[in-house]
Amino acid sequence: MSDDLSELWQRQWPKGPPLADDLKHAYHDRWVRFHSLPGSKRYPGHDVEYDIVLHRYNTVLAELFSGEEVRIVTADWSGTSEPPPLSARHALWNPGARHWTSVRTDEHETDPEFITYIHLYVSRSPWRSGLVDDLLRAVADDVTGRVMVTSLSFDRVYHPYDGGADILLPTTDERDALKCRHADWLSAHPLGL
């Protein structure tokens, strides 16, 4: 499975490893960022704000994946290339996930004490609203990161982070149409950050 997934990833995103937060730089013309809360507030502080965050996440996810199966990718970190067993919290957030690949994040580091690997775990499920709400809440609270929800072919990538979501689409036109539908969720930053 992992070789096939890595090959699929490379076919769609040859300029980078399967780390969505790096792709916005390599594929800026196919990337858009939406903020999770009005006024670009980063973290929800009460139930009403959590409702807004989940509504925004699920609205875009439904537009991208309604009626389809998705891949759910979660991450764990360690100082070795050997992936740790899926932790209990990751098993809760991503049931049935299996190790896909490991990516060294600091290619130039020579001190073994500071070498870090990101281990990616993937599962597959039919999309439905609310499918990953527990995971999305953990992301919104900065309890976990490097999460992706993708199409089976990886041509559409939804990467939530604490404060919003980065979306990568197959074409600039598709990106622009999505931006127009949710223009009030865009950042005021000139680079869209």
Domain range summary for the chain, segments of one domain joined by +: 2-185
pLDDT tens across 67-124, in order? 999 999 999 988 888 898 888 888 889 999 999 999 988 777 677 777 889 999 999 9
Write the DSSP symbol of residue 65.
Answer: H
With 0-12 / 13-18 / 19 or more C-beta atoms within 10 angstroms meaning exposed / middle / buried, residue 1 is exposed
How far, in Å, CA of 182 to CA of 189, rounded?
16
Query: pTM of the prediction?
Result: 0.93
For residue 71, the cross-strand partners are 124, 150
To the nearest whole percent, how much of the chain has pLDDT over 90? 75
Q: In this structure, are residues 151 and 48 in contact, taking their beta carbons and an 8 Å threshold?
A: no
- Which pLDDT does position 3 carry in this prediction? 61
pLDDT tens across 15-56, in order? 999 998 889 999 999 999 999 999 889 999 999 999 999 999
Residue 127 has pLDDT above 70, yes or no: yes
- Which pLDDT does position 2 carry in this prediction? 56
Residue 144 has pLDDT above 90, yes or no: yes
| Mean pLDDT, residues 61-72 taken together | 98
